[in-house]
Amino acid sequence: MMIVMKPAATEEEVQAVVERVHSVGARAHVIYGDELTVIGAIGDAEHVARLELESTPGVDHMVPISKPYKLASSQIKHGQRTVLDIAGRKIGGDHFAMIAGPCTIESREQTLETARIVAAAGATLFRGGAYKPRTSPYAFGGLGQEGLHLLAEAREQTGLPIVTEVMDARDLEAVIEVADVIQVGARNMQNYTLLSEIGRCGCPALIKRGLSSTLEELLMAAEYILKEGNESVMICERGIRTFETAYRFTLDLMAIPVLKELTHLPVIVDPSHAAGRRDLVLPMSLAAAAAGADGIIVEVHPNPDEAICDAAQQLRADEFAGYLERVLASAAVAGKALSTDVSIAG
């Protein structure tokens, strides 16, 4: 249930409503907008039905949230979009993010070289996997802790915030020492205990759509993180499994405008894993940016042909600056530009 306060409602009136919500066993989620304050009452439907707040001072009206995801729903924000601040880089609203880096952290040289190149070109965040979900249990699973150290060094040298995946809650503590954004991989999108742990740890999260997940399932996964009080969540379309075999997955471009209708959270697109082919990454990035994506997460490697993982899809680092320039022209069509309000280095 959403409780919309009157424009002139006082803070005391807001707090009285919050207390009333708690008293029926529900959670109160207060959103202070430019003109209105809205309080989301989240909990058991029976509890929420007992609220009866219509004639409470300061309350204007109540609107039920019809979607099964509540905190992720655009209804709760009354049309406002969430803008995340990742170490000074804004993502969402008019702010476009370019998250770039190798699939896998392989070595010090490969990591630092890629980080320097993407930072110099103007990337917003640096990505790289230290813990890699691999289809084959015999494939390289990442450098683990050593990879995290290399990511920390890349951050120190370039100032770029780090996005890296956590696969197991047991590694969460070590990962959040380094990560500015935790990535939840497509294969873990419905790992609900991991999602709740990430929600509790408070580190911003980027959650990727499962290979065969609906948009509603994706938003319910985001809800697990939001429910724990962690409001810094981005969602990512990375291609879904269809009958087509000419490319690795099918990039669901329609998900971009539809997700933006359903949720206030920033919507990121990963053309690399969808395509599985380098030549498709630019056209899909252009299309995603023009369709209103809030950012792109893309794989870049100094020498992709020798990459340990995802060799066929990683962009060549020396082509990244040209790629970014073209993607930004496309983002501009949708009214977005890179966040320039960068207040950190290291």
Binding-residue pattern over the window 272 to 311 for Mn ion, x denoting contact by CB under 5 A: --------------------------------------x-
| Interface with ligand PEP, residue 59, by CB under 6 A | no
Q: Which residues inside 199-218 make contact with ligand PEP, applying CB under 6 A?
A: 208
Q: How many residues bind Mn ion (CB under 5 A)?
A: 2
Q: What are φ and ψ of residue 120, in 5° steps?
A: -65, -35
Question: Is the CB of 73 or the CB of 191 nearer to ligand PEP?
Answer: 191
Among candidate residues 26, 86, 85, 73, the one with its CA nearest the CA of residue 52? 26
Question: Is the CB of 90 or the CB of 208 nearer to ligand PEP?
Answer: 208
> Which single residue brings its beta carbon nearest to ligand PEP?
185
The span from the CA of 210 to the CA of 239, in Å, is: 9
Binding-residue pattern over the window 101 to 140 for Mn ion, x denoting contact by CB under 5 A: --x-------------------------------------
| Interface with ligand PEP, residue 273, by CB under 6 A | yes
Strand 315-316 relative to strand 295-301, pairing: parallel
| Interface with ligand PEP, residue 3, by CB under 6 A | no
Which of 48, 98, 103, 288: binder of ligand PEP (CB under 6 A)?
103
| Interface with ligand PEP, residue 238, by CB under 6 A | yes
| Interface with ligand PEP, residue 133, by CB under 6 A | yes
Question: Is the CB of 103 or the CB of 123 nearer to Mn ion?
Answer: 103
Taking a C-beta distance cutoff of 8 angstroms, is the pair 307, 66 a contact? no
The CB-of-99 to ligand PEP minimum distance in angstroms stands at 10
| Gyration radius from the chain CA atoms | 21
Taking a C-beta distance cutoff of 8 angstroms, is the pair 224, 196 a contact? yes
The span from the CA of 291 to the CA of 256, in Å, is: 7
Q: Which residues inside 149-188 make contact with ligand PEP, applying CB under 6 A?
A: 185-187
Would you list the DSSP string of 139-167?
S----THHHHHHHHHHHHHH---EEEE--
Per-residue exposure over 146-158, b if at least 16 CB sit within 10 Å of its own CB, e if not? ebbbbbeebbeeb
Question: Is the CB of 74 or the CB of 110 nearer to ligand PEP?
Answer: 110
Taking a C-beta distance cutoff of 8 angstroms, is the pair 14, 28 a contact? no
Per-residue exposure over 115-135, b if at least 16 CB sit within 10 Å of its own CB, e if not? bbbbbebebbbbbbbbbbeee
Q: Which residues bind Mn ion (CB under 5 A)?
A: 103, 310
Residues near ligand PEP (CB under 6 A) are 103, 129, 133, 185-187, 208, 238, 270, 273
